[in-house]
């Protein structure tokens, strides 16, 4: 855990599941991260472009509106956010298909249901460059 008051980085959580965003935000904030939450691809894109985070955790299947992959393409297309690491969230269980789809475009994925510990571990892994 971070020293009181010390922030470890900015995380943007984008998921249409309000409960997931709120509960994950609380967990990550307790671990010392500065967390913003968005509930649609459009909202997440705007937030990312307005104040680029250190990492984005992005749901693949959001509705209505932009899907996670669409949102990621727009994030990657803007020079302000092109290099921001992205970790996808998914309820899909075809891991081979997921890995093929994510090859060279995201820094990984996490399966739902999501635990706070798994999310924190993945964020720390990606931000540390492991």
Task: Encode the chain (130 residues) as per-residue pLDDT tens digits.
Answer: 444 456 789 999 999 999 999 999 999 999 999 999 999 999 999 999 999 999 999 998 888 889 888 899 999 999 999 999 999 888 866 666 566 556 656 787 788 888 889 999 999 999 998 5
* Partners of 38 in beta bridges: 14
- Whether 129 maps to a domain, the answer reads no
User: CA-to-CA distance for 109 and 113, rounded, in angstroms?
Assistant: 12
* CATH code at position 42: 3.40.50.2300
pLDDT in tens, 38-66: 999 999 999 999 999 999 999 988 888 89
- Whether 17 maps to a domain, the answer reads yes
Crossing angle of the two packed helices 68-77 and 41-50, in degrees rounded to 10: 20
- Whether 19 maps to a domain, the answer reads yes
User: CA-to-CA distance for 25 and 19, rounded, in angstroms?
Assistant: 10
Count of domains forming the chain: 1
- Residue 1's nearest CA partner among 25, 33, 31, 24 is 31
- Whether 39 maps to a domain, the answer reads yes
Question: If residue 46 lies in a helix (H) or strand (E), which one and from where to where?
Answer: helix 41-50
Range of the domain at 54: 10-124
- Whether 2 maps to a domain, the answer reads no
For the entire predicted model, the pTM comes to 0.87
């Amino acid at each position: 855990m971070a020293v009181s008051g010390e922030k470890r980085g900015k995380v943007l959580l984008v998921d249409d599941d309000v409960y997931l965003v709120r509960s994950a935000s609380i967990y990550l904030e307790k671990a010392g991260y500065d967390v913003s939450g968005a509930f649609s691809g459009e909202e997440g894109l705007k937030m990312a472009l307005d104040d680029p985070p250190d990492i984005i955790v992005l749901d693949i299947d959001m509705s209505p509106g932009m899907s996670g992959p669409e949102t990621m393409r727009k994030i990657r297309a803007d020079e302000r956010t092109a290099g921001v690491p992205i970790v996808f969230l998914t309820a899909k269980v075809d891991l081979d298909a997921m890995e093929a789809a994510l090859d060279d475009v995201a820094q990984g994925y996490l399966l739902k249901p999501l635990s706070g510990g798994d999310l924190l571990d993945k964020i720390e892994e990606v931000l540390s460059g492991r």
